Amino acid sequence: PSGPQNVYHFLPFFNRHYFALPTNPGEQFFMFCTLAAWLITKAGHPFEQPQEYDDPNAIISNVLSELRSFGRPVDFPPSKLKAGYGEQVCYVLDCLAEEALKYTDFRWKRPAYPTEELEEEEITEDDAELTLNKLEEDVVEEESDNEENFIDLNVLKAQMYRSDMNDTAKQEEILQSTTDAAEWNLEVERVLPQLKVTVRTDNKDWRIHVDQMHQHKDGIESSLKETRGYLDKLHNEISRTLEKINSREKYINNQLEHLVQEYRSAQALLSEAKEKYQEGSGGVTERTRMLSEITEALERVKQETEERGSSMTDGAPLVKIKQALTKLKQETVQMDIQIGVMEHTLLQSELKEKSNMTRDMHATVIPEAAVDAY
């Protein structure tokens, strides 16, 4: 089958912590909406099956309106149900499940406990001292003996049956008792304390727990009868107090309505003033930065002006210039003298070279003339 009416057949099996812990929020929310719609339908209110791509806000609003129609309080925001898990989701599903059970007239049945058959023990020994501890010791000894000599149960039942038949035959034969009644009573008083069976109670036995539960239930019911009146009285007083508080709260709200309006308008003006202050503080910061830059530039100009003014009024540079000129003149004179000396030296060297050249020329010409003469 297909369609929104048969979507419940395809729902998976949920574990008991499916809507308590986050696993897959999208899947959990869709499963929550589907299960809530099914429970609302079961509770007698027709509810359209939500689809996967429907508006989640509209689905949550419809579910909460149905929950309020059942008389259930909703004291949490609708956004808590969008996650698909948590305390609020479990609360909504629990309330819808209770309403569905009420509408279907579901009733819990009383538990049926299984009956346990108790084995009847027959005591055949007349003169034996029968206590629970000794009985346990005898059972242990019989088990230890049976480990070595195993006896078939069928044979044992046949032997017990024959002994019972013999005892009944003997009882039928004895019709009169020759025992004195006084001696019989004395013997009974002597062995009577030894014939008592003491059974130790086990705290793990479920019957003891059931008895304790019944005792506690009776105690709770008796205590509840006494305290119900006090609780009802306390509930009535609390209800009246809450009604008074609600009425006083409404009265105070009505009386302070104009003050609330004034407060809201003052808050609006304060917010506007804060915005203007922030804008103004931003402009002041920018102008302060520009002022600091201009101040630094002005300080640099003042320092340069002071340096130039001091250099113009001070005569030390002029004195230094005159001294430098005097030194330059002295150096010029020295250079002129050195140039003159060098020129004189060069002139002498040139003249000397010319004289040497002339002498050499005369020396070469004379021997040629003498050769011609000879």
Under the banding of pLDDT at 50, 70 and 90, the label for residue 2 is very low
Give the percent of the chain with pLDDT over 90: 24
Q: How far is CA 239 from the centre of its chain?
A: 37
Q: Per-residue pLDDT tens for 213-265?
A: 989 999 898 888 888 888 898 999 999 999 999 999 988 988 888 888 899 89
Average model confidence (pLDDT) across the chain: 78
* Residues 74-101, mean pLDDT to the nearest whole number: 89
| Mean pLDDT, range 76-90, rounded to an integer | 88
Look up residue 318 and give its two tokens.
């002029």
Helix axes of 257-313 and 206-255: crossing angle, nearest 10 degrees:
70
Do the Cβ atoms of 25 and 84 come closer than 8 Å? yes
Q: What is the pTM of this model?
A: 0.32
Least confident of 72-86, 208-222, 358-372: 358-372
Span 275-326, pLDDT tens digits: 888 888 888 888 888 999 999 999 999 998 888 877 777 677 788 888 999 9
Question: Does residue 150 surpass a pLDDT of 70?
Answer: no
How far apart CA 161 and CA 156 sit, in angstroms, is 9
Q: What is the DSSP string of 105-129?
A: T--PPPP-PPP-PPPPP----SSS-
The full set of domain ranges for the chain reads 25-104
